């Protein structure tokens, strides 16, 4: 039984590894890109949500626009879940009563809880 020269074995193994890398690399890059998008969305929702809770009207508008654009360009379930959580936070912030109202502390606690749940 003849196995052939070692150079043919090395060439065959190299070709096999090159095909494996060519098949795996696009999946790897796509996954990293999706993870980056999810991370950026979390960061934006947390930052804009915190600013909106303080009463910044520009942050409320920016968060609304950011969530709308993210929803329209939704590519995976993680982004969809974050958009839903962000919408709940935005709705809670919009419903915040005046600071002199007796229910303000309770509403603010609920908004902070929603902000902390974004993961």
In the chain, domain spans: 8-117
Question: Is a pLDDT exceeding 70 seen at residue 1?
Answer: no
Percent of the chain exceeding pLDDT 70 equals 99
Distance separating alpha carbons of residues 41 and 106, to the nearest angstrom:
27
For the segment 42-53, what is each residue's pLDDT rounded down to a tens digit?
999 999 999 998
User: Which stretches of 1-76 are DSSP H helices?
Assistant: 6-54, 57-72
Site of tokens 């942050």: 59
Residue 79 · residue 37 · CB < 8 Å: yes
| Residue-wise pLDDT tens digits, 86-98 | 999 999 988 888 8
pTM of the model: 0.77
């Amino acid at each position: 039984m003849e196995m052939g020269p070692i150079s043919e074995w090395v060439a065959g193994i190299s070709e096999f590894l090159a095909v494996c890398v060519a098949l795996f690399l696009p999946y790897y890059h796509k996954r990293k890109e999706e993870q980056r998008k999810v991370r950026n969305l979390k960061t934006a929702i947390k930052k804009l949500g915190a600013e909106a809770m303080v009463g910044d009207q520009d942050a409320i508008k920016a968060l609304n626009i950011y969530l709308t654009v993210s929803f329209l360009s939704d590519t995976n379930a993680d982004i969809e879940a974050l958009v839903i959580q962000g919408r709940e936070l935005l709705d809670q912030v919009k419903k915040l009563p005046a600071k002199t109202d007796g229910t303000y502390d309770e509403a603010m606690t609920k908004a902070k809880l929603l902000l902390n749940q974004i993961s």
